[in-house]
Amino acid sequence: MLFRKLAMALVLGGFSLVSYAQKGETVKIAWIDPLSGLMAPVGSNQLKTLQYLAEEYNKGNAAGVKFEIIGMDNKLSPAESLNQLKAAMDQGVRYITQGNGSSVAGALVDAVNKHNERNPGKEIIFLNHSAVDPDLTNHKCSYWHFRFDADTSMKMEALTTFIKDLPDVKKIYLLNQNYSHGQQVVKYAKETLSRKRPDIQIVGEDLHPLAQVRDFAPYIAKIKASGADSVITGNWGSDLALLVKAANEAGYTGRFFTYYTGVTGTPTALGQGAAGRVYQVAYAHYNMTGPMAKYRDGFKAKFKDDLYTGSMISIFDVLTGAMAQAKSTDPVKVAAAMHGYKFKGFNGDMEMRKLDHQLQQTLYVTVWQKADKKYPYSPENTGMTLAPVKTFEPYVSSTPTSCQMKTP
Amino acid sequence: MEFFVISMLNGLSYGLLLFMLSSGLTLIFSMMGVLNFAHASFYMLGAYFGYTLSGVLGFWVALVLAPLLTGAAGALFESQVLRRVHKMGHVSELLVTFGLSYVVLEVVQLVWGRVAVDFTAPAFLQGPLFTLINHSAEGLSLVAGAAGGICTPADPAVRIVCSPFPATRGFIMLTAIGMVVSLWWVLTRTRAGLIIQAALTHPETVETLGHNVPRIFMLVFAMGTGLAGLAGVIGGFTFITEPAMAATVGSVIFVVVVVGGMGSLSGAFLASILIGVIQTFAVAVDYSILQFLSDLGVKLSANAQNNTMLQLSVSQAAPVLPYLLLVLILIFRPRGLLGTRDV
């Protein structure tokens, strides 16, 4: 049955593509993210995800193009990323993707802007899969940058709407990484909480160096001393895994409101102990049905690893759709088609908003609990899962933008 | 109160781990005049050896064998490489250890990969060593192991705060103290220690007395790197075992050695504890220059109040504090806290 469907799709796809000029072209995408250092586990999972999805889309897609992924290690450093961008350009790459570290994304946006201005005919498109600093779609917004994650202002809007209905949250501690993303989490958490729950007290806030801290015990001791019943953190990768590990060891029993509980390392560090106390806000979750489930299971079968960067599915959906529409793989034409592109993806109806190139999509708040019949998927085989507790339609989590985009 | 106790213990255990590293470094320096840039690489090697061996032979064997292997690697490096460049002076020695740190890093990445390995504490070290219980009515008390159900009071009016102290950290402290005592005993109470001490200050005389000084140097180098390896095994499962672990402690142990005084073991001990405790407690202090100025009664404009430099709190600056201490020591007391010679 599946085979017949697939064959049908291939035949139909082949027929409909005959007239398209871009058919059969190879599109190189350079992935510029960490493969060394503390964030390497996250990076290597995402590179595998991108390669896996490229293979899947190469089996057949609306534009009839082939994707080739070039993985480049940026060591989580903006300077190193610019070197890699240059290397990618030398290889004739016209599409780049990155997501780990808004600091890196900021540097790449600047570099891509300059390059595109100075080299007409050689434009590059930046597909941002996970960098969520709102600045990137506000005062630093760029026509060549497209964000497929939801930014901090959207996630915090959803998260605080959820917290609003939890009366026993009274004292919150903000612990974040000391760079653009972490600072934005602090800013938006304070702003939205004072609007929605003015009675909640922020009993402490801390910024620690990004991907440097090995031992979070002193921070946990401080959080305990502050009397906080909940912690809001935008930490990811090792910074979240080691944080929850230290919290478990020091017997901290408060709640954690996070962005990235499902990301490599953290499920294992959480283990079974933290059921019902750890929440995540994200544009996807492990127990979705449809395309996300298909890729998630395929990925798990192939790599024994979890697929959590669903934004990459949207990247391929938008790219192939826009290329088919533009009948070209030329970034100038494709960008014009992506500008305001509407589609039905793994996360329902989505739109690449014209104003700022921020993908408008549904957000979910999930909670860490035992995997059961209803929500069976267990990340890192922990026997636990992230079960959805609240869904926010795109119009709810959508936030205004101050972007004044220069359209070429 | 429980915050102070737990933080103090965290600081002490971190400081003691630093001492296990810096003692070897300072021993090698005082004996051979070599600043071993690759010292932290031996720490990393110890962690990875410990990881691999504990998977095959069990934890206890790994705890003994990994430092021995690391020490053997150190002895090999000293006798085959360092000794050859010794005659070309200190700069060459410095450069060759610097080069070694890169070689070790690349080898570790080749063998074990760039991603952190899953090196966890053995079962008997998982869980708390003891739990500090702060009962709002009955005051402070101590329970060995996990506290269990006591932490959730039946009566909502009673506030109970349980602060477990992880057994891994207790193990660090125990091992480090055991190491300090045995090191002290070897150096001051045994014949070998006497010869080492003599070779420190008067190598020619010791040589004319018929002792093999190059071999003593090799043994000291092996001992120093072996201690680093031991610290690596323990630090590896307490914190995280990954290729950047050498770089993160590498710079701090140099600070320890300089602050304590080059070549002074007791100085290294004092400085390790000092830095461990300062770094841990600094995280808890939210005091900033801005607050300091406003406490002094200085009125600042709104613009100055938004200055990020002035807003920088001590907790944010915590990772920089050891280096600040280094600069201050170099300015005001270049010989270090307990050192006898200038840097």
pLDDT of residue A36: 83
Task: Looking at the structure, tell me whether residues B10 and B98 fall in a common domain.
Answer: yes
Of B3, B248, B280, the CB nearest to A224: B3
Of A222, A225, A251, the CB nearest to B162: A251
Tokens of B119: 């090196």
Answer yes or no: is pLDDT of A2 > 70. Answer: no
Task: Looking at the structure, tell me whether residues B201 and B95 fall in a common domain.
Answer: yes
A230 in B contact zone (CB under 8 Å)? no
Residue B233: inside a domain:
yes
Q: Please give the torsion angle defined by the CA atoms of residues A103, A105, A110 and A113, in that order, rounded to the nearest 10 degrees.
A: -170
pLDDT of residue A14: 47
Looking at B139, B166, B193, the residue that finishes a domain is B166
Q: Are strands B160-166 and B139-144 parallel, antiparallel or unpaired?
A: unpaired
Task: Looking at the structure, tell me whether residues B130 and B55 fall in a common domain.
Answer: no
Residue B278: inside a domain:
no
pLDDT of residue A356: 95
The answer to whether the CB atoms of B114 and A35 lie below 8 A apart is: yes
Task: Return the CATH number of the domain spanning residue range A153-282+363-397.
Answer: 3.40.50.2300
Tokens of A93: 């790459």
Task: Looking at the structure, tell me whether residues B93 and B182 fall in a common domain.
Answer: yes
pLDDT of residue A15: 46
Task: Looking at the structure, tell me whether residues B143 and B11 fall in a common domain.
Answer: no
Q: Are strands A278-282 and A342-345 parallel, antiparallel or unpaired?
A: unpaired
State the complex-level ipTM: 0.84
| H or E element that contains A32 | strand A26-33
* Structural domains in chain B (count): 2
Give Cα B197 distance to the centre of its chain.
24
pLDDT of residue A6: 55
The answer to whether the CB atoms of B283 and A36 lie below 8 A apart is: no
Query: Could you say which DSSP state residue B116 is in?
Result: P
Residue B265: inside a domain:
no
Tokens of A247: 């919290």
Question: Helix B39-57 and helix B59-77: axis angle, to 10°?
Answer: 140
Q: Is A104 exposed, middle or buried (0-12, 13-18, 19+ CB in 10 A)?
A: buried
Query: What is the chain A residue with the closest CA to B165?
Result: A250
Domain A23-150+288-360: give its CATH superfamily.
Response regulator (3.40.50.2300)
Tokens of B172: 């660090």
Residue B268: inside a domain:
no
Residue B316: inside a domain:
no
User: Model pTM?
Assistant: 0.86
- pLDDT (tens digit per residue) in A175-200: 999 999 999 999 999 999 999 999 99
A381 in B contact zone (CB under 8 Å)? no
Task: Looking at the structure, tell me whether residues B30 and B161 fall in a common domain.
Answer: no
Asked if A69 and A29 count as a contact pair (C-beta separation under 8 A), the reply is yes
A41 in B contact zone (CB under 8 Å)? yes
Residues of chain B with pLDDT under 50: 343
Looking at B217, B243, B269, the residue that finishes a domain is B243
Task: Looking at the structure, tell me whether residues B160 and B34 fall in a common domain.
Answer: no
- pLDDT (tens digit per residue) in B125-140: 888 888 888 877 777 7
Task: Looking at the structure, tell me whether residues B63 and B162 fall in a common domain.
Answer: no
Structural domain boundaries, residue B106 = 2-121+168-243
Distances (CA, A) of A223 to A202, A254, B163, B284: 11, 10, 12, 9
User: Using CA atoms, how far apart are residues B183 and A268, in angstroms rounded to an integer?
Assistant: 39
User: Using CA atoms, how far apart are residues A266 and A273, in angstroms rounded to an integer?
Assistant: 13
Q: For residue A345, list its beta bridge partners.
A: A348
User: Using CA atoms, how far apart are residues A198 and A360, in angstroms rounded to an integer?
Assistant: 28
Q: Is A2 exposed, middle or buried (0-12, 13-18, 19+ CB in 10 A)?
A: exposed
Backbone angles phi, psi at A363, to 5 degrees: -115, 155
Of B7, B163, B316, the CB nearest to A218: B7
pLDDT of residue A396: 84
Task: Looking at the structure, tell me whether residues B133 and B13 fall in a common domain.
Answer: no
Q: Number of A:B CB contacts under 8 A?
A: 82
pLDDT range class, residue A17, cuts 50, 70, 90: very low
Question: Which residue intervals of chain A bear CATH 3.40.50.2300?
Answer: 23-150+288-360, 153-282+363-397
Answer yes or no: is pLDDT of A16 > 50. Answer: no
Q: What residues of B are in contact with residue A219 (Cβ under 8 Å)?
A: 283
Q: Which residues contact B71 (CB under 8 A, 6 or more apart)?
A: B222, B223, B225, B226, B229
Query: Could you say which DSSP state residue A380 is in?
Result: G
The answer to whether the CB atoms of B244 and A218 lie below 8 A apart is: no
- pLDDT (tens digit per residue) in B59-98: 999 999 999 999 999 999 999 999 999 888 888 999 999 9
Tell me the average pLDDT across A228-247: 93
User: Using CA atoms, how far apart are residues B66 and B147, in angstroms rounded to an integer?
Assistant: 34
- The b/e string for A78-96 (b: 16+ C-beta within 10 A; e otherwise) is bebbbebbeebbeeebbbb
Tokens of A304: 């024994």
